[in-house]
Amino acid sequence: MNHKHRWRLVAALLLAACPGSGLAGAPQLAYWSLDEQGGKRAMESVSGRYDPVNYVFNRARFKPDSAPLWRTAGSCIHGGCLLFDGYSTDIAAPALAPAQLAQGFTLGAWVAPHAFEWGDGGHYSAFLSQFDAHARQGFSFGMQRFGAWGIKLGFGSAIMDVRVRDRKLPRDTWSHVAASYDPARRRVALFLNGEQVADAAAPGEGEFGLPQQPLTIGRHSQPEQVGGVFKLNTFLGLMDEVRIAAGPSDAAAVASGVKADLARHGGKAPQPSLADMRVPRSVFEGDRHRPRYHLMPDAGWMNEPHAPLYYGGQYHLFFQKNPFGPFWHQIHWGHWTSPDMVHWRELPIALAPEDDGLATDGVWSGSATYAADGSPVLFFTAGNDSAKPNQRTGMATPSDLRDPDLARWNKYPVPVTLQAPGQGRHGEFRDPFVFRDPARQSWFQLVGSSLPGGSGTALVYESADLRSWTPRGPLFSIDAKRFPGFDATWELPVLLPVGKGRDGRERHVFLNDVRGQAYYWTGVFDAKNARFTPDLEQPRTFDVGQGHFSGPSGFVDPKTGRSIVFSIAQGERTLQDEWDAGWAHNGGLPVTLSLGADGELRIAPISELAALRRRQLLDLRNASVAEAAAALAAIRGDALEVELELAPSSEAGKRGMSLRVAPGRAEATELYLDTARGRLEIDRTRSASGQAYGIQGGALDLQDEALRMRIFLDRSMVEAYVNERKSLTSRIYPARADADGLELLAAAGDRVVVLKVWAMGPAEKGN
């Protein structure tokens, strides 16, 4: 043992013997100060033992190893503290022996939860746990839904659950929690910040016992699982000063310990910063697949970005977020802001499930609009499994309009729209899209649903005040027999103006998502009758990546009048891959939609994306194919923008680029327009060693037009835009680190009109 560790052990033993040590007056059985501020072990100071801190990146698969998320003294109760990431972090310790707790015990810890888990299986997200539900033995001390907290104790014949619901734990704020069991009195007590908040009698029969289970800090002993990969019932947030003391404690003893802990802070717990509660982006440095300039949260799982708005000089965008890890569950609304829709900054969670009877089981997708006074309003799907149906639409408004970040939002206390009989298929009622019609001085709300025996649809509602909504019927429908699969719910409806058609009438584009693929129709929206008449009944796609461009949302940018669409780029990875990576999915680049002179839809990445260009690597004009190939041979990178204009010869074939090319073409991804077949495709059969993802694409015939292609390569992300007519979004996961070359795909007689390549910078403005 080195001198530093010997001194810590001596200090801890002295502390354990002294009053005012967190559980004053009680001899300590175990004490984890969590002061390490580095490394993969936590010292249990009473025994001098070092317990392993489990963490996904202790042995990282896609990046260099990195230590658990230790925090320094400034925001901790004493010394340092540990951020538990909600899915991979826990501390494993040897089991406590029954004899150690024979005279009772007191458990205590300082906790600052970042979010509250679902409570799957009825289990606690444990602070401390040595529990066997089948044997009805041990204890599980932790949090439940909405910040309720308590302890379960096993008495052999029964399990006792003592829970505090009226003094819930706050998010992102330190609280001291303690639980005490007195076997002589057969009483259980709970303490919050030194104040007794619960007292209950143990069952009359049976004795408290301990199972032969390891003691875990930060996770329930027998967690529920998702897909056999993700363990639930796991604590998310900061933890510090974890103690187990022999014998019961009373309020005076616990309060004395809390006072001693806070003495160094002037009697008040420090306030953790937002950075303290987050996984820093630096953790992911070296991840060869994590995008650099595409929109994504700090860590964990995201789904569709939605509810874009512009207010007070900033763009705001929200997104579906599981703060507990890279998997679908317990959905919150994350929140970004940006000055330009390119560089983004993540803010605290905007909307979370709460014990409010409104959105208790999830805050699902929605949109944003403006009230009559110009202030922003959010609409969301309020998930409540105790209601029938469990999907309603809710509304939220900013807590403080003077705050330029609009960081806090207040939910309207009751649903604003309920599904009534005869309004779509019962139970299918989600993803409200709300917009104002200035001519009628009213708002329309589109809600994704389907028609019994028919196709999906968007149900239309109209309101003069955003609170009372009158049903106007389905927006439109199609022949579900003619178009199989479109009887499913049309999720994420969006309706945006795109310009005048060739007949002089205003056109809108209607977007939706059906089974993970975005579709569109152009047509005429009749506000008076609340109906949309498509130009063609057939669903169409502008992105031919076959399921990678999904979850559309959009708005009319008040600054420029452009109709802009955001999307989610699906990850195409296994649950195990996502567990190992620590993140899942990212947003697509924002695009503008407009109508061409031929009446067909045009799609293009927004012009602001040029701000991501850091260094131009190539600027070639009027060159031969051989000259272009020679110039590209010197360029390497995995975060690039490529602009290609090619004047093709009469020879039919594949024209485009090979991306992520390894030496000897051991790995390569081909992105091309096949003029012989009239197809825009991506060939991923050699994208990664030992794994073939196949070929994806769709029809595109440019006829006599020169090929104009813009490609955005961002590690595992690929987005291509061809002549503003089609896009292709896809994923590639090269196995080789040296798969970073570029090659031109062209016929020998082609002429390279323009070939430009830029290295791209990051999208985030800060953590």
Domain boundaries, the chain: 3-277, 299-605, 612-766
Supply the pLDDT for residue 704.
85
| pLDDT tens profile 398-407 | 999 999 999 9
Supply the pLDDT for residue 703.
87
List strands edge to edge, sheet with 517-526: 491-500, 506-514, 517-526, 531-534
Kindly report the CA angle at 482 between 480 and 487, in degrees rounded to 5?
A: 20
Q: Tell me the pLDDT band of 511, cut-offs 50, 70 and 90.
A: very high
List strands edge to edge, sheet with 332-338: 583-584, 300-311, 314-322, 332-338, 344-351, 764-766
**Residue 4 confidence (pLDDT) above 70:** no
Beta-sheet pairing, 125-132 with 215-217: antiparallel
Contact 326, 300 (CB under 8 A): yes
| pLDDT tens profile 35-47 | 999 999 999 999 9
Helix (H, G, I), strand (E, B) or coil at 546: coil
Supply the pLDDT for residue 689.
80
**Residue 3 confidence (pLDDT) above 90:** no
Q: Tell me the pLDDT band of 19, cut-offs 50, 70 and 90.
A: very low
Supply the pLDDT for residue 95.
97
**Residue 253 confidence (pLDDT) above 50:** yes
Mean pLDDT of 453-482: 98
C-alpha to C-alpha distance for 409 and 620, rounded to whole angstroms: 50
Supply the pLDDT for residue 692.
78
| pTM reported for the whole predicted model | 0.95
**Residue 767 confidence (pLDDT) above 70:** no
Establish whether domains 299-605 and 612-766 are of one fold. no
Supply the pLDDT for residue 7.
35
For residue 303, what are the CA distances in angstroms to 290, 296, 318, 672? Answer: 15, 10, 10, 28
| pLDDT tens profile 331-381 | 999 999 999 999 999 999 999 999 999 999 999 999 999 999 999 999 999
Mean pLDDT of 89-98: 97
**Residue 135 confidence (pLDDT) above 70:** yes
**Contacts (Cβ under 8 Å, ≥6 apart) of 422:** none
**Residue 419 confidence (pLDDT) above 90:** yes
Q: Tell me the pLDDT band of 765, cut-offs 50, 70 and 90.
A: low
Mean pLDDT of 684-688: 95
Q: Tell me the pLDDT band of 691, cut-offs 50, 70 and 90.
A: confident
Topology (CATH level 3) of domain 3-277:
Jelly Rolls (2.60.120)
CATH number of 299-605: 2.115.10.20
* Phi, psi for 340 (deg, rounded to 5): -145, 10
Q: Specify the DSSP element, H or E, that contains 519.
A: strand 517-526
In the chain, what's the furthest Cα-to-Cα distance? 94
**Residue 14 confidence (pLDDT) above 50:** no
Mean pLDDT across the chain: 95
Topology (CATH level 3) of domain 612-766:
Jelly Rolls (2.60.120)
Tell me which of 46-50, 82-86, 503-507, 690-694 is least confident.
690-694
Supply the pLDDT for residue 25.
62
Short-list 639, 642, 668, 651, CA closest to 722: 642
